[in-house]
Structure 1
Amino acid sequence: MAPTMQTEPDGVEVVMSAREAADLERPPLLVLEPVTAFLDAHGLGTGPLEWARIGDGQSNVTYLIRRGERTFVLRRGPRPPLPRSTHDMVREARIQKLLSAQGIPVPEILAVCEDESLLGVPFYVMSHLDGAVITEDVPAELDSPQQRELTSRAVVDTLLQLHRVDVTRGELANLGRPQGYLRRQVERFSGLWDTNTTRELPRVHEVAQWLGDNVPETQTVSVVHGDYRMGNLMFDAHASARVSGILDWEMATLGDPLADLGYLVATHADPQSTPTIMELTPVTRRPGYWTREQIVEHYGRESGLSVNALPWYEALALWKSAIFCEAIYTRWLNGERPGDEEFGPTLEAGVPTLLEQAATLMRPL
């Protein structure tokens, strides 16, 4: 369903001028006059703006922007003050430019704004892809059993394509520090729990201990997307089950490719999985879509990598998701997510469920 475009500021999330923004207790997300001037400076459309907030992300903010005959997507970080290391729009845009040159399907980056005076944070503008993101609904042309199977195959084949990109040379080689990636993930997220929670959940420490004691050996290094799932893929509106764009690159780095596979599998809804707050594309329970086992089998066969230790990577994905969601829950409890009447309340039980599912994967590898 196409989003409803807005033309009038609401005075809360969207305002007209920097002066209006300065008068608000909480900074707005979109300030129309400076954004319009920025688009003018880069030759991106003419006339007044129309906008709609899009995407299911709980972190960075994405707007569909229509200006005259042209349509763009503006992506920015959340309101400050939040750790910029996880909301680096300039880096995110750079990664997509580098991967586009390697044939990876990503939106075209049209302009990057590092000047924080415009919106309070850096942002970038990218092309709008004509297609569909599959979450709770499926386009009719992709909803036959055959197309569902082809869609699942496309999800895994696109991940394989990403993981085959050569990261040993050029600018991509400087994207991250792959040595010790998995252990750093465990250490980093362990340190985030106590600063982002108001309750005692012993499972988080039990899982952390098991993860730290059983870190598998990385078999190869690749670009790791960090949030690879069907809901972060755009499917071409004019082709059969073809991925036209991988979205949301905020957590991308160099590391172990099985981290992406573990996340994809752990958050994939199939008839045998227990629903969690991280299963954001529930339609894949329908007949025709691949099961978790089929995803793993295809990836392992085509990549040549051993997937014997995949339960560790799945546990890592669920545990990290629990810690990330707990931070959202704490902000919701503190009244820092006004208007969130759906996701925030689910986290009281949703976070412990993620931790319990992670704990079921704690077995000898």
Structure 2
Amino acid sequence: MSDSYYERLVDEPSLVAHLEDHLGAVDDYEIDRHREGHSNETLFLEWGDRDLVLRRPPPGNTADTAHDVLREYRVTAALAETDVPVPEPVLACEDHDVIGSDFYVMERLEGDVLRDDEPDRFAASEHRQRIGEELVDTLAKIHDVAYESVGLGEFGRPAGYTQRQVDRWGTQLSWAFEVTEDERAVPDLHAVGDWLRDSVPEEHPHTLVHGDYKLDNVMFGTGGADRATDDNAERSPALVAVFDWEMATLGDPRADLGWMLSYWRDPKDPAPSMPELTSRFMEREGYPTRVELVDRWETHTGLEFEHERFYRTLAVYKLAALGEMFFRRYLEGNSDNPIYPKMEARVPALTARAMRIIEGDEPL
């Protein structure tokens, strides 16, 4: 791989030397960039007979705390012995002399990330139902972690989390607007922020939260034969790993649920505001509805999804802020992602969606 953007991501000789020091020398290695993500950068490493994954922030200036990969490493290491499925962490590095940024390495797992479509082996009603159940059950496991006992008692300040989320994403949006408003303004997005600030729930439960929990941030393998016929029998989906923990902290579990629901489609939904980043296959027969997912989460956690319009609006506001940050990165020349320039139109569309939720025109 020789393109200039790749060279900004990794100093290959320096990285190889670092891995040799920590993992041992190998006869053969290969490094490939994974192009599916839209935030932190992911590199696949074949290091001898080991399949590994490297995570690092994108190059260039980034909004404060938006790409904290060492935080991701810390929480993954803490959860390795819990019921929450995570990849095995291998090493972390904060020495920017190695590749120019923080990074960490984890073991690579086998399975399917359901992003553009479902795999053929899961295209049956009972498998589709199980995908939704596994997704929400694992979220409930995250919210049930005894975070102090796994060394995460000082991982965040859960009190006031939701207010800080509103403030933080407003700040991220302001960072993006420093550049993007010279191209075009999105005045209604300021109105959404004002509504959120006026509507923040006074209290909320305190749990570990993932911060970016959605269908394409988990991996599905198979487990438990549906019928004991033969070795080729279809096997039901099993969620084998949760990825992308960079936004994890202690906070409000309802924010996690609202975020997950913002990506989950029902057949009755209008056309997506951001089609490039929206999967629609869960509109097919067999997948649970959002209401069914909420009911199952409430049953497993013992919590209620109160203030649901607030949490769903907050999720779309965050999506809009992320889109605007992507647009800034495009305008500054700090990404070659073809989706980023499309945010010029997609962020206003997301803003319209947030207004529909606020006004009750896009129900749960």
* TM-score (structure 2 length as normaliser): 0.88
Give matches, 1:261-340, under 5 Å: 261-274=257-270, 275-277=272-274, 280-338=278-336, 340=337
2:36 matched to 1:56? Answer: yes
Q: What SS does the corresponding residue of 1:126 show, helix, strand or coil?
A: strand
Q: 1:191 to 1:67 in 2, by over 3 A?
A: closer
| C-alpha distance in 1 between matches for 2:173 and 2:288 | 34
Corresponding residue for residue 4 of structure 1: none
What residue identity is the alignment partner of 1:12?
A: S
Pairing partner for 1:94 from 61, 70, 74: 74
1:170: how far off?
5.4
- Return the offset for 1:107: 0.5
Q: Does 1:232 align with 2:229?
A: no
The 4+ residue runs of structure 1 with deviation greater than 4 A are: none
Question: What is the CA-CA distance between 1:241 and the residue it aligns to?
Answer: 1.2
Determine if contact 2:51/2:108 at 8 Å carries over to the other structure: yes
| Residue correspondence of structure 1 range 1-365 to structure 2 within 5 A | 9-15=1-7, 28-43=8-23, 46-54=26-34, 56-83=36-63, 85-169=65-149, 171-197=151-177, 198=181, 199-237=184-222, 240-274=236-270, 275-277=272-274, 280-338=278-336, 340-341=337-338, 343-363=339-359
Q: Distance in 1 between matches of 2:245 and 2:13?
A: 27
How many residues align? The count is 343
Task: Please tell me whether the aligned partners of residues 94 and 103 of structure 2 are also in contact (alpha carbons under 8 angstroms).
Answer: yes
Aligned alpha-carbon RMSD (Å) = 2.1
Offset at residue 169 of structure 1 (A): 4.7
Q: Distance in 1 between matches of 2:37 and 2:43?
A: 12
Distance between the aligned counterparts of 2:161 and 2:36, measured in 1? 27
Q: Distance in 1 between matches of 2:9 and 2:155?
A: 28
Gap runs ≥5 in structure 1: 1-8, 16-27
Do the aligned partners of 2:72 and 2:245 also contact (CA within 8 Å) in 1? yes
| Letter aligned with residue 325 of structure 2 | A
Any idea what the Cα deviations from partners look like across 1:293-347, whole Å, max 9, x if unmatched? Answer: 2111211222221223111101001001101211211222343323x33x12321
Distance across 1 between alignment mates of 2:313 and 2:103:
33
Greater relative CO (CA pairs within 8 A, separation 6+):
2
Relative distance call for 1:69 and 1:45 in structure 2 (3 A) is farther
Other-structure match for 1:5: none
Identity %: 34
Instruction: Give deviations 1:39-95, integer Å, cap 9, x for gaps.
Output: 212226712322222263222100111133221111111113324522222221011
Gaps of 5+ in 2: 224-234
- Distance (Å, rounded) in 2 between the aligned partners of 1:150 and 1:296: 15
